[in-house]
Amino acid sequence: MIIEQVLVTNFAVFCYLIADENIREGVLVDPAGDVEKIFKVIDKHNVNIKWIINTHGHFDHTGGNDYVMKKTGAGLLVHEEDASMIESVKGKIITKYTGVKSYPEVVAFIKDGDIINAGSINLKVLHTPGHSNGCICLYTEGNVFTGDTLFTEGMGRTDLHGGSEKQIMNSIRNKILKLPDDTVIWPGHHYGTYPTSTVREQKRYYL
């Protein structure tokens, strides 16, 4: 399995390329912007992008959706409770921070327990509300992509629309930290000293 962590935009967002190394089919998680940088990684691995997956609907994670969809033909997946944010983001804000001028409609909704396939890779959707109502994480054996639910040092803010400290703590403790201890945590922002963590390490802070 190919996992490439790509640091993009002034918001220090981590975009992820996750791909089957044999048939070169994959997904992009949170293509926030700096799309030329993202496509250098895609081209390096010669990957066909099947899906774009947004861990939530905030504009700092979704700015490259339209560009990637048009260039690759990939579908866009997001949890239903955050879909309205993606479809109604103001263009001036997006252009200022990501250079992208338009926004697509959501292709399909995902929910807790869904499995997203790309080649031999199966990504399980974990609905983890708290940062927003429709926040998700993506789990495949040995790895979890946590978006803005959990970082390597801290968790997502809960003072925005749809945020809830009670919900996010429940999501962290009862979804993410229930995974095997050696599961690698791939966060949605580079807000800590290190770009990755593990479930075992995070248990020290939240349990």
Nearest CA-CA partner of 151 in 83, 201, 115? 201
pLDDT digits (tens, 9 = 90+) for 45-64: 999 999 999 999 998 999 99
pLDDT at 103: 53
Where do we find the tokens 């399995």?
1
User: How far does Cα 53 stand from its chain's mean position?
Assistant: 6
Q: Whole-model pTM?
A: 0.91
User: Which domains are assigned to the chain?
Assistant: 2-206 (3.60.15.10)
- Is pLDDT at 85 greater than 90 in this prediction? no
Query: Is the pLDDT higher at 185 or at 104?
Result: 185
